[in-house]
Amino acid sequence: KAGVTQTPRYLIKTRGQQVTLSCSPISGHRSVSWYQQTPGQGLQFLFEYFSETQRNKGNFPGRFSGRQFSNSRSEMNVSTLELGDSALYLCASSPGLATGTQYFGPGTRLTVL
C-alpha cells in the first residue's frame, strides 16, 4: 500500500502571499490530520478532517484553513503568509476516528521570505 503523499515537498513564498498544500492519505483511510513543526514550537496540531468534515481544530489563526474531498484527499491553505509560517507541514492519515495511530507523510517544507 502506498503511504501518505504530500505535494509539493518544498515551497518558497513571500510575505503576504497565500499557499495551498495537498495531502493524499493511505488508500482506505478516511481521517486526515495536519500538523505544523517549527524549531521553536515543535509539532503542533492544526486540524483534522473525517468524511469531509472538520472534527478538531488546534489553536491557530483563521489564516489557516483546510478541507477534505470525497476521495479523502485533503488540502490546507494559509493566507497572508507571515515569516513565522515557515515550517514543516505534516499530514497524517488514519483509517477511522478515535484512534491514536496515525501514519505521517514526509511533509512540505514551506519557507516564507
Sites of contact with another protein (CB under 8 A): 4, 31, 33, 35, 42-45, 48, 55-56, 58, 88, 90, 92, 94, 97-107
| Cα gap 88→110, rounded to integer Å | 6
Is 4 or 81 the residue whose CB approaches another protein more closely? 4
Contacts of 96 (CB under 8 A, 6+ apart): 30, 31, 50
Give me the least distance between CB of 38 and another protein, in Å please: 12
CB of 53 to another protein, least distance (A): 11
Torsion of CA 80, 20, 83, 87, to 10 degrees: 150
- Of 17 and 97, the one with the shorter C-beta distance to another protein is 97
How many Å apart are CA 39 and CA 89, to the nearest integer?
12
Nearer to another protein, 44 or 79 (CB): 44
